[in-house]
Structure 1
Amino acid sequence: MLIQIPRGTQDIRPGTVELWQYIEEQARDICRRYNYKEIRTPIFEHTDLFLRGVGDTTDIVQKEMYTFTDRGERSLTLRPEGTAAVVRSYVENKMYGDATQPTKLFYIGPMFRYERPQSGRFRQFVQFGIEALGSNDPAIDAEVMALAMDFYKGLGLKHVKLVLNSLGDKESRQAHREALVSHFAPRIDEFCSDCQSRLHKNPLRILDCKKDRNHELMGTAPSITAYLNESSQAYYEKVQELLTMMDIPFEKDPNLVRGLDYYQHTVFEIMSEAEGFGAITTLSGGGRYNGLVEEIGGPETPGIGFAMSIERLLMALEAEKVTLPVSFEMDCFVVALGERAKDAATKLVHDLRKAGLNAEKDYLDRKIKAQFKAADRSEAKYVAVLGENELEQGVINVKDMSTGDQTEVALDTFVTYIAEKVQ
C-alpha cells in the first residue's frame, strides 16, 4: 500500500529547500543586527501552557490544537505558536534575572494547527518570530515592527504595508469590552455559536470572526480607540511618532484585532499588496502582551513580539516575482575513465571537499557522455577529466564550463588550482 503524506503538510525537496535556507540565514542575520538571540523550545509542551498562555476563547485552543495523552497520562500539545513556549522558558530559566535586559529572543521552527488547508496555510508550518521581554518603552514596539519591515524589504518585497492599532491597557480594554457586550447582546442570536459563546468571555474576539464579518453590527461596533484612556492614547501616539521618525510608513486601522487573548496596547499586521497574492493578505502579525509572563507564573514583565509564516513569505516573493540570490552551482565535477582513474577520482573529490569545495563524481559507472551530462545537471563551474593516461602522467584536464577553456593541471596541484579559481 502506498503511504502518502498527511493532509496539510508538505515535503520541501532539493531545489526548493535552498530558498528556505536562504530565508532562514537572512532571518538570523537581521536578528544579529538587532541583537536578538536564538532560542529553541520543545516541539510539544504541556497543554495547560497554551490554555493559559494563548487563551481558551481562541480558535487555536478551541479548534486547532494537536493534543494527545502520553503514556504517563499527561496532556501534551504540539506547539501551535511560539510566544507561549518562549515565555515559559523565560520564566522557567529565570531569564528576567539576567544582567542584560531587555531579553531579546528569536525562533525559527515548525508549528502545528488543525485548520483547513489552503493556499499558503498548512497544518504543519514554519514560523520565524521574535520576542522582547522586560521593557515598557514604546521604542521597543517600534523596533519590533522595524525589524519585521526591514526583513521583508531586505528580501526584495516592495508591496508590503504595516497596519497598526492599539488595544489599550486593562482599564481601556474593560471599558471597550462593556461597550461591545452592550452593542452585540441584543442581536447575538444572529451570530454563529462561537460568537455567542464569546460574548461574555471575550467579546473582542467577535470582531475577528470570519463567518459573521459581513454582519451589519460589525461595521458599527464601538472602536477600541474611542475607549483608550489618557496613558494608552499617549503610548499609542508615541509609537506612531517613533515609526515616523524611522521613516517607516504605516496605516492605522481601529478594527484590527489579533486572534490571541494576551495582547494589550500595540497590535500590528504586515500585509501584502501584491497583485494576485490572494484574499488573505496578512503576512505576519504581533503586538504587546503585558500580563502574559504573570499568567505563566513569572513576575510582572512586559513583552512584545511578532511571528511570520515562511510559507506565506514565499507566496509573496512569488507574487512579486522576486528571485532570491540562491546558487545551485557546484565547484567541480570529476569525470573518471577506467578503474584506476575511478579510484583516484574518489580521493580527489574527497580532497576537494576537505578544502571546503563542493565536489562530486559519478557513482553509477556511467560512460563519459553520461558523466558530462551529470556534470551539466549539477551546474558545475569546472569539470575535471581523469583517464588512465592522465593518471600515468600525473595530470588532469580541467574545463572551465563558463568559457569552454581547457587546461592541463598537475594532480598534486589540482585542489589548489580549483580552490583559487572558484574564490
Structure 2
Amino acid sequence: MGSVAEVLAEFLKLGLTCFGGSIAHLGYFRREFVTRRGWLDDETFTELVGLCQFLPGPASSQVGFSIGLLRAGWLGGLAAWCGFTLPSVMLLIGFAAITPSLGGPVGGGFIHGLKLVAVAVVAQAVWDMARRLCADQRRAAIALTAIAVLSILTTVYAQLIVVSIGAVLGLALCRSTTTSNTARVSQDTHEFGVSRTASAIALILFSALLFGLPLLTSLHAGPAVKVVEAFYRSGALVFGGGHVVLPLLQQQTVAAGLVSSNDFLAGYGAAQAVPGPLFAFAAFLGWMMVQAPNHWTGALLATVSIFLPGLLLVLAALPYWRALRARPSMTALLAGVNAAVVGLLATALYSPVWTSTVLSKPDFAVAACGFFLMIRWRFPPFAIVVLSALAGIAGPPCIRASAPGETRRA
C-alpha cells in the first residue's frame, strides 16, 4: 500500500502532461504505473482497461481511479481522480471566464478557429472508431441503422433508444464476430478493497440517481438539480470514448437552451488543447449555463455529475468483472452498442458540429487540413488547436464567427 499523497502527486503530474485523448492516457498510465513504478502488473492493468472500456464513462479516468484505489484505498481512488482531473477543469473554467470578452474580429476569429477544431477532431474520432468498431458488415449495418433512426427521431431519448437498438442487434448479429477469451487475471478483485456489499451500494446509488433525478426535475426542482440531472445522464450513457459525450451534452445543454451553440463548440475546441480527460469539458459548460446557481457552483456540479456514474459503475463491476467477460452474450452486446455509438457520433458530426461551423469554402479548407494533419501526419490535437485558431484570426471576415453567445447567419 502506498500513501494518498503519493497517489495525488503522481496523478497531478499526469493531469498536467497527459495530452492526446483516452487511448494516449492509458499509454501514459501503463508506462508510469506498470513499467516505471510497478504499482500493478501488466495483466492486472490489461484487465482494468478491459473493464473500463466495457462500461459507460471515461475509460482513462476510470482506470486511474482504480489504480489509486488499488494503491491507497478509497482515499487513493479519490486522490487519483482529483489529481488527474483538476488541471483540465481549472484551465477550461479559465477559458469560460474570458469567453464573453472575446469579441471583435480577433476574438471572433479565435472562437471560430476553435469551432473548426471541433470539426476536425470529431471527424477523426468517427474515422478511427468506424475502422475499429465497425470492422465487418454486420457492425457497419448497425451503425447505419443508428444513423437512420437518429434522422427520424426528435425525442430527447433518441440516444438512449439508439444504444438500446444497438445492444439488441449486437446480441442477434455479433455473436460470431466476438470471442470470450480474456486475459488471465493475476490478482483477485478483492485487492482493490471493493466488497460485494460496496458493489451493491454503488449499483443502487447509480440506478437511484439515473432514474430519480429526472423525476425530481419533472417536479420543478431547483436549477442545481437540473444541472446535476443533465450531466449525470450524459455521463451514464456514454459508450465508446470521450468524444461520444458530445451529442449527449449537446442535447442536454444547447438543445435545452442552456448554452449557445457558439459557446458549446468553442469550448469543445478549447478542450482539445488542455491535458487530462475530455469529460472536463463539463466544467466549461457548467460555468456557461444560464440556469446554473452561479459560475463556480455550476462548474463544480457539472464536473462531479458527469464523472460520478462511471466511477460508481467501476465500483459495482470490480468484484464481478471476470465472470461477466466470460459470457459471449455480453461481448456481443457490447459490440452492438459500440457500433451504434459510431452512428451516434457520425450524426453529431453533421449536426451540430458541421452545420453550425462550416459556413464557407475557407472553413472547409481549415477543417479538412486539420483532419488530414491528424490522421496522416499524426499531429497532436494541441497543434491543430493552435493552427486552426491562427487561421480563424487571420482569415477573411466572411469566416469569422460572431461574438460568443450570439447567433450567426450564413
More helix as a share of residues? 2
Structure showing greater Rg: 1
TM-score (norm 2): 0.28
TM-score (norm 1): 0.27
Bigger relative contact order (CA 8 A; separation at least 6): 2
More strand as a share of residues? 1
